[in-house]
């Protein structure tokens, strides 16, 4: 249970409970509580006559329906969320006075919303895109929002360019295409003419932009913030979320296929994992730089298109977040939640990052139109767990009933309350930084290096990851109609790698650059997913079974389950399949209702009684998994089928005796992909 603090009126879960309702077995009423005797027919002047204006029930019901939708977010419209808790490992009092970062015994409730950026609310979830990773901490000092992405850098350096970026990446206005995709002219025209985007584009063209799961992607605060301790000493900080399951991705063909097979793939995965008790976990990491070291690096630490290499500034893991409860209502919680990087608590402050500075205005402005006015903080999902008191009044959606005549400061009628609180008693005070300079519309010279970290990213990739980046550029630019834009992009990314630019140029028919790449002088292994954690936990395996399966199969399935693997039976129909010993297995999927792209691995069992159609369906599963470099297992009749198809002797394909098969197959599943497999 979440530990209460004396100032908390209710825990977040208790607070939300008071707003929940169960309408089952209740009398039907209007919103005013009037019981209704009829809900099938509107009030008419005779059975065939016109509807009467006095039908208040019809008008209330229809008016509410007409207003059920609120404007979707301009960006991050397609999202899904869950509740959880954050627990600190050790006190961070050395760096910050934020109370939720002091006591490891206190669990802080959180609400996390994941999202795609470019697509509208109804778009598919496995598109190539950055992912939002926004966390609301309900602390005893107020709500703290860590609003980030799964990529640590951004396209632009100054918030004034954000509308331009989004206009460019959204569907083109003359035909409203393409949806949720960056593979079109206006986006790449923006990239070529705004070269500060180079680093972010490299990430977007990498496997990071097509995550396997929301449970298996990193999160980043993107910006440089400040931590301030009780003595007033400040440190610069960047925030990280590190998934306990490691960082894993889809392959491009797989991602495209999933978009058609299950456009809800990521939210379904998150929802089912929590329902099954496989709670997603992320460790909070901090990169910390002392103020006196601000200018000791070969990049500007305030530049949002730059990351802090982990080899130079290590990530200190300070706590763990566990998502353990699904929402009760997607609209009331996921859609109405309002995040804002300006929602901070004492001990956390801002830097002069110009992109962050603009976000501090933009987010509140957005909520005003989305949620109907200034009282969005009173919606249950947004309410802090601590009391709040101020002189703000009225407005759309007001729920607080303020008593008394006073709504201003200073006053004598209410003894000058509510009153400000000194910093020593928990009042928020901005960090006092000396600032001087002329008023200019300009950018620091230290922000003008657009390619060195893009090159660092390229140099840090494995050969397989580089191949995927080349393919991504080739696909995206292959969709661009303008030859001029194509050539501009090739010329631009020659500044990152001529190897990359030459291969992309060849693929799209552009003129390749001359010259060769300089020798690699620096790379960052932490940027490559090849270095990530590899576990079998929660991996889904399609087990293809027919009647008369071997009596050893249940033993293999139990071995997989003991390692946290989730085997799901696939067969011709949803009727139970029976083994040679009379045992039965429940079938979860048919060949018609599922596909290999919806699983992490395929295990072909079959049986001697399976017909030719079954064998072909099983091999279709196996062949597609093989081409996506996934683990494949086979026992019994399945071994013969794989051998006949020539799939039996490749890396990550496991066949053999049952006792050793389980161990070897678990090892193959843990590896996630087998890139050394030869795929024609």
* Domains of the chain by residue range: 79-378, 453-530, 534-670
User: What local confidence, expressed as pLDDT, does residue 156 receive?
Assistant: 96
- Are 337 and 136 within 8 A, CB to CB? yes
User: What local confidence, expressed as pLDDT, does residue 7 receive?
Assistant: 44
CA distances (Å), origin 291, targets 96, 356, 427, 444, 651: 14, 18, 23, 19, 50
Q: Enter the DSSP assignment of 79.
A: E
* Residue 288: strand pairing partners: 237
- Tokens encoding 171: 């569907």
Helix (H/G/I), strand (E/B), else coil: 621: helix
For the chain, the first-to-last Cα distance in angstroms comes to 53
- Tokens encoding 168: 């460019």
How many CA atoms lie within 13 Å of 597's alpha carbon, on the beta-carbon side?
Answer: 18
User: What local confidence, expressed as pLDDT, does residue 438 receive?
Assistant: 85
- Tokens encoding 285: 């990491």
Q: State what percent of residues in the chain have pLDDT above 90.
A: 84
User: What local confidence, expressed as pLDDT, does residue 2 receive?
Assistant: 40
Q: Enter the DSSP assignment of 258.
A: H
Helix axes 265-275, 252-261, angle to 10 degrees: 80
User: What local confidence, expressed as pLDDT, does residue 661 receive?
Assistant: 92
pLDDT one-digit tens code per residue, 137-149: 999 999 999 999 9
Which residue has 């389980």 as its token pair? 662
Class of domain 453-530: mainly alpha
Q: Which fold has domain 534-670?
A: Rossmann fold (3.40.50)
User: What local confidence, expressed as pLDDT, does residue 313 receive?
Assistant: 98
Q: Which fold has domain 79-378?
A: Catalase HpII,  Chain A, domain 1 (2.40.180)
Rounded to whole angstroms, the Cα distance separating 598 from 600 reads: 7
Assign residue 291 a region (left: φ > 0; alpha: ψ between -120 and 50; beta: otherwise): alpha
User: What local confidence, expressed as pLDDT, does residue 61 receive?
Assistant: 87
User: What local confidence, expressed as pLDDT, does residue 657 receive?
Assistant: 62
The helix (run of H) or strand (run of E) holding residue 319 is strand 316-326
CA distances (Å), origin 427, targets 92, 97, 417, 424: 19, 12, 15, 7
- Are 108 and 302 within 8 A, CB to CB? no
Burial of 234 (0-12, 13-18, 19+ CB in 10 A): buried
CA distances (Å), origin 191, targets 49, 196, 403, 512: 62, 8, 55, 18
Count of CB atoms situated within 10 Å of the CB of 392? 14
- Tokens encoding 443: 């950018």
- For 371, phi and psi rounded to 5 degrees? -105, 10
Tell whether the torsion through CA atoms of 308, 312, 313 and 318 is positive or negative. positive
Nearest C-alpha neighbor of 457 from the set 209, 671, 128, 115? 209
Burial of 279 (0-12, 13-18, 19+ CB in 10 A): middle
Q: Which residues of the chain have pLDDT under 70?
A: 1-9, 657-659, 680
Nearest C-alpha neighbor of 503 from the set 522, 540, 475? 475
- Are 300 and 354 within 8 A, CB to CB? no
Catalytic residues: 76, 149
CA distances (Å), origin 535, targets 214, 245, 276: 16, 6, 18
Q: What residues have CB less than 8 Å from 573, skipping those under 6 apart?
A: 587, 590
Rounded to whole angstroms, the Cα distance separating 358 from 473 reads: 30
User: What local confidence, expressed as pLDDT, does residue 573 receive?
Assistant: 97
Which residue has 């995206």 as its token pair? 476
Helix, strand, coil percentages (3-state) for the chain, rounded to 5, are 30, 15, 50
């Amino acid at each position: 249970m979440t530990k209460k603090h004396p100032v908390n009126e209710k825990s977040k879960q208790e607070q939300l409970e008071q707003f929940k309702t169960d309408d089952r077995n209740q009398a039907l009423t209007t919103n005013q509580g009037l019981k209704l005797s009829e809900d099938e027919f509107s009030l008419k002047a005779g059975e065939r006559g016109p509807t009467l204006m006095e039908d208040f029930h019809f008008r209330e019901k229809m008016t509410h329906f007409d207003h059920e939708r609120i404007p979707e977010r301009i960006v991050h419209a397609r999202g899904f969320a869950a509740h959880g808790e954050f627990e600190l490992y050790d006190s961070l009092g050395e760096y910050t006075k934020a109370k939720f970062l002091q006591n490891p015994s206190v669990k802080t409730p959180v609400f996390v919303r994941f999202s795609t950026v470019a697509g509208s609310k109804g778009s598919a979830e496995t598109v190539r895109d950055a992912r939002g990773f926004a966390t609301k901490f309900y602390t005893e000092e107020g709500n703290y929002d860590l609003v980030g992405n799964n990529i640590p850098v951004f396209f632009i350096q100054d918030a004034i360019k954000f509308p331009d970026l989004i206009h460019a990446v959204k569907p083109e206005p003359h035909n409203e295409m393409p949806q949720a995709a960056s593979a079109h002219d206006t986006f790449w025209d923006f990239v070529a003419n705004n070269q500060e985007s180079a680093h972010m584009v490299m990430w977007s063209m990498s496997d990071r932009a097509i995550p396997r799961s929301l449970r298996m992607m990193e999160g980043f605060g993107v910006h440089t913030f400040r931590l301030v301790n009780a003595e007033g000493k400040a440190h610069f900080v960047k925030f990280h979320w590190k998934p306990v399951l490691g960082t894993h991705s889809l392959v491009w063909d797989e991602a495209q296929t999933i978009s058609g097979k299950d456009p809800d793939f990521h939210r379904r995965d998150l929802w089912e994992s929590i329902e099954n008790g496989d709670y997603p976990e992320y460790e909070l990491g901090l990169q910390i730089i002392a103020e006196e070291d601000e200018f000791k690096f070969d990049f500007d630490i305030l530049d949002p298109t730059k990351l802090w290499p982990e080899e130079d500034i290590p990530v200190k893991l300070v706590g763990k977040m566990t998502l353990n409860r699904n929402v009760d209502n997607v609209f009331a919680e996921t859609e109405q939640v309002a995040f804002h990087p300006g929602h901070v608590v004492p001990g956390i402050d801002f830097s002069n990052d110009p992109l962050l500075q603009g976000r501090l205005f933009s987010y509140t402005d957005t909520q005003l139109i989305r949620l109907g006015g200034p009282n969005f903080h009173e919606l249950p999902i947004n309410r802090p767990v601590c009391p709040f008191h101020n002189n703000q009044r009225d407005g759309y959606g007001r729920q607080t009933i303020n008593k008394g005549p006073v709504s201003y400061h200073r006053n004598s009628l209410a003894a000058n309350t509510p009153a400000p609180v000194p910093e020593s008693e928990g009042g928020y005070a901005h960090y006092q930084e000396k600032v001087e300079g002329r008023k200019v519309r300009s950018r620091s010279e230290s922000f003008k290096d657009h390619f060195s970290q893009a090159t660092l990213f390229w140099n840090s990739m494995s050969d397989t990851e580089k191949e995927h980046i080349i393919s991504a550029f080739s696909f995206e630019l292959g969709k661009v109609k303008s030859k001029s834009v194509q050539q501009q992009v090739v010329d631009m990314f020659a500044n990152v790698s001529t190897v990359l630019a030459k291969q992309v140029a060849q693929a799209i028919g552009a003129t390749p650059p001359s010259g060769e790449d300089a020798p690699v002088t620096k790379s960052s292994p932490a940027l490559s997913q090849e270095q990530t954690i590899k576990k079998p936990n929660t991996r889904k395996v399609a087990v293809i079974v027919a009647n008369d399966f071997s009596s050893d199969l249940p033993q293999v399935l139990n071995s997989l389950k003991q390692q946290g693997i989730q085997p799901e039976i696939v067969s011709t129909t949803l009727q139970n399949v029976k083994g040679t010993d009379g045992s039965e297995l429940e079938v979860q999927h048919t060949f018609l209702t599922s596909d290999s792209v919806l699983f992490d691995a395929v295990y072909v069992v079959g049986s001697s009684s399976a017909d030719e159609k079954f064998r072909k369906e099983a091999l279709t599963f196996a062949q597609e998994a093989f081409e996506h470099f996934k683990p494949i297992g086979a026992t019994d009749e399945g071994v013969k089928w794989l051998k006949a198809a020539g799939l039996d002797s490749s890396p990550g394909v496991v066949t053999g005796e049952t006792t050793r098969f389980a161990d070897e197959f678990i090892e193959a599943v843990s590896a996630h992909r087998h890139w050394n497999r030869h795929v024609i």
